[in-house]
């Protein structure tokens, strides 16, 4: 199955297995140990695990990606999980899909050389999601949090959409500055393409599919709050993970050489 193999690294099977072990360990650390865990019961802010999962899928292939992502979630839960909840296979399935899909997105975006087209699609979807977040928080006075209902103060109803807007602006600025200032001669992908991959992973897998899996685990009455909270986190994740993946890809390519 040659189409499932990545040609990013020209290394032996033994080295790929060793690299897989290192990446799995790093994903566990970033996702369970160094993350901001459970600000609310169904949300976690991770500072690098999603970037590493996407990087793994792109550089080693989708089979490595799904095994490493799924294995990291299972091992990380039983070793380091800070919650009092049980293990939910639905959430592990989200990580498995997240480890499998980016490889094909990478193959797709490298065929599209038109930056303006990628930017237009990505930013248009961002604008729609931002509008939905804003409408919800401005029209709702409370949010369901599994075991309780939290009343939203006026400052919170203004703060959360404002943060989402600021992160949206940061995405545009990050993409523009990095594309102009940083050369990508070492890799065959630019920051706009990477940002688009992260965007699809965040929206389609983390937000829509992952939110559905979390609602299955915690209760479908929480589906809308889960979607909203994940959408706000997404605006932070996309610029941060896009830049991190870009840096890791450049650094690793030089290191392997």
What is the C-alpha to C-alpha distance for residues 69 and 95, in angstroms, rounded to an integer?
A: 5
Which residues are 45's β-sheet partners? 36
Token pair, residue 49, equals 């695990």
142 exposed, middle or buried (CB, 10 Å; 0-12, 13-18, 19+)? exposed
DSSP codes joined into one string, 85-116: S---HHHHHHHHHHHHSHHHHHHHHTT---HH
CATH class assigned to 2-256: mainly alpha
Confidence (pLDDT) at 125: 81
Which phi and psi (to 5°) does residue 32 adopt? Answer: -115, -35
Q: CA dist 143 to 44, 207, 213, 234, Å? A: 17, 18, 19, 18
Burial 164-194 (b: 16+ CB within 10 A, else e): beebbeebeebbeebbeeeebeebebbbbbb
Per-residue pLDDT, 190:
80
pTM of the model: 0.83
pLDDT, tens only, 68-95: 999 999 998 888 776 667 788 998 999 9
d(CA 85, CA 217): 10
DSSP 43-89: -EE-SSHHHHHHHHHHHH-HHHHHHHHHHHHHHHHHHH--SSS---H
Angle 123-127-129 from CA coordinates, rounded to 5°: 115
On the CB side of 247, CA atoms within 13 Å amount to 11
Ranges of the chain with pLDDT below 50: none
Q: Which helix (H) or strand (E) holds 217?
A: helix 210-218
pLDDT of 70: 95
Write the pLDDT tens digit of every residue in 2-22.
667 777 777 888 988 999 999
Give the Cα separation of 34 and 161 in Å (integer): 26
Q: Where are the domains of the chain?
A: 2-256
pLDDT of 34 = 81
- The pLDDT score that the predictor gives to residue 143 is 77
Predicted local confidence at residue 183, as pLDDT:
63
User: What is the phi/psi pair of residue 73, to 5°?
Assistant: -65, -45
DSSP-assigned beta bridge partners for residue 36: 45
């Amino acid at each position: 199955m040659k189409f499932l193999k990545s040609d990013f690294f020209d290394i032996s099977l033994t080295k790929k297995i060793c690299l897989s072990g290192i990446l799995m360990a790093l994903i566990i650390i970033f996702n369970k140990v160094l993350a901001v865990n459970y600000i609310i019961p169904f949300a976690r802010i991770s500072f690098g695990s999603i970037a590493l999962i996407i990087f793994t899928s792109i550089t080693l292939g989708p089979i490595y990606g799904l095994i490493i992502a799924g294995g990291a979630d299972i091992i990380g839960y039983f070793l380091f999980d800070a919650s009092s909840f049980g293990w939910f296979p639905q959430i592990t399935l989200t990580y498995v899909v997240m480890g499998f899909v980016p490889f094909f997105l990478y193959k797709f975006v490298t065929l599209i050389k038109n930056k303006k087209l990628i930017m237009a699609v990505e930013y248009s979807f961002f604008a729609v999601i931002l509008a939905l977040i804003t409408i919800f928080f401005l029209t709702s006075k409370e949010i369901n949090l599994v075991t309780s209902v939290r009343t939203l103060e006026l400052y919170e109803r203004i703060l959360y959409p404002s943060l989402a807007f600021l992160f949206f602006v940061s995405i545009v600025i990050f993409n523009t500055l990095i594309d102009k200032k940083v050369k990508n001669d070492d890799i065959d992908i630019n920051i706009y393409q990477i940002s688009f991959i992260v965007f699809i992973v965040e929206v389609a897998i983390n937000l829509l599919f992952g939110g559905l899996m979390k609602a299955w685990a915690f209760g479908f009455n929480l589906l809308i709050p889960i979607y909203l909270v994940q959408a706000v986190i997404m605006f932070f994740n996309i610029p941060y993970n896009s830049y991190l993946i870009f840096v890791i890809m450049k650094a690793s390519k030089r290191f392997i050489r």
